[in-house]
Amino acid sequence: MNPDLNRGNIINSDVQNLSEQRLVWHIKLLCTLTVITTVFIFTSNKFLTNDPIFANLSIMVGSCYFVMLLLLQFGKQNWYKTYFSVIMPVWAVIIEFFIGFNSFGHGILSISFGITTFLLFQEKRRLRSLLLCYTALMYLGSSIYTYLYGSLYSFDYPFDQMLVYINCMLWVIVIFSYYEHKMGSFISVLTSKNKELKQKKNELERFNYLASHDLKTPIRTITSFLGLINRDIEREQYTNVKEYSNYAISGAHQMQNLLEGILEISKIKMDFTDEQLQLIDLNILLNNVKRKMSFKLRGKAFNIYSDPLPKIMGISSDFEIIFEEILENGIRYNNSRMPEVFISCSTNGKEVALIFKDNGIGISKAYHDQIFHFFKRLHSIKDYPGTGLGLGLCRKIVDKYDGWIEVDSDYGASSTFITKFPKRILVEKAPEKQLRIEFSKAVS
């Protein structure tokens, strides 16, 4: 997963959703067990006392939980929250009025109702406060009334405290399980974020070092050759001035390219919102990139082949950079008579992979990780011009989408770049029987 606020919000939202799903699952289990318990008490009462009042009270409690179970089962989440917070204290009060409650048992039951209400309405604080006051008033009012006037019936019913005890213990288990899971989830997220922060810190240190080192090189070149030009002018020796000025201009161009590269890095924002995502047909995007490359690499012949590509959700400029940089890398670092790059796509249950295979000079296995660092070059500028930023930009963008980029290659062999993205970006798979797309650029 990214050090950005947006991704942190997404992760926190995912944790919150998982915690709520776990809470709902526990409440379903609790409602089921409570319904079974009330049926057991109702059946036991038939054999022991056969008292209709206690039997009806048992059925009433079981019915309350059964209705809530139905609301949970059919996804009426807002309804079940309100239903629980309003109705559950009511059945406790009814039982208090009819048969009396052990004040401690009723208190624990009301506390469990209150804590669960607190969990269910974490995002609606004002409503939560009102419902907590309601629960407290229901408990205090019924307890004071029965203390002063007594309950309607004073029989000692069997298993009456069993229902209270089981119900309270189950709610305590739900609450502790919920918080234990939530705490574990947040610890996991915090550990992941700390790891990401450390990685980004190392990347920033590496970037600062390389940027300062690479920027010093053209400055030294410019300074040295301007000094030589001044020396020759003072001596009135003009033979080498033109050559020295060309070296100085070359250093200035190199510095300009580095600064533009740094600007490109800063332009890639790692945070994005859902509103910024757009439907991207990668086939159309590839055609646009090909047109740009025809102009950028004019004078160089090359072929680009592609299987049909899918439609995805993303930011178009991000994927244009990925396609352009990897394709250009495969064409520039290529000594073949006809440089070629073949693009394909594969999907599985978790990932969407875009695969770029070229017939270039290859990359030694020792440098498979280093090539994705900013300003890292394996060849001199004379042999292969460039800033060494392209693959670093690709990695930064792929990281932005929680993906991964890797290369399969060896020196003297072809290179295969594989970019992997979570399957959630996939909108529509490419048609399997569509003809392969081919692009050829002749020397102009």
Q: Which pLDDT value is given to residue 321?
A: 87
pTM of the model: 0.51
Residue with tokens 């990214």: 2
Instruction: For the chain, give the mean pLDDT.
Output: 77
List, in order of start, the domains of the chain with CATH numbers: 5-192 (no CATH), 274-441 (3.30.565.10)
What is the pLDDT confidence band of residue 419, given thresholds at 50, 70 and 90? very high
Cβ-contact 100, 145 below 8 angstroms: no
Q: Which pLDDT value is given to residue 200?
A: 73
> In angstroms, rounded to a whole number, what is the distance separating the alpha carbons of residues 258 and 102?
79
pLDDT in tens, 186-195: 787 788 778 7
Mean pLDDT calculated for residue range 1-26: 54
214 to each of 41, 321, 372, 384, how far by Cα in Å? Answer: 81, 23, 16, 16
Q: Which helix (H) or strand (E) holds 413?
A: none
Phi, psi (degrees; rounded to nearest 5) at 402: 60, 35
Mean pLDDT calculated for residue range 181-210: 73
- The set of residues, in sequence order, having a beta carbon less than 8 Å from that of 157 and lying 6+ positions away, is 45, 49, 51, 54, 99
Cβ-contact 71, 79 below 8 angstroms: yes
Any idea what DSSP says for residue 361? Answer: -
pLDDT in tens, 268-290: 666 666 677 889 999 999 998 88
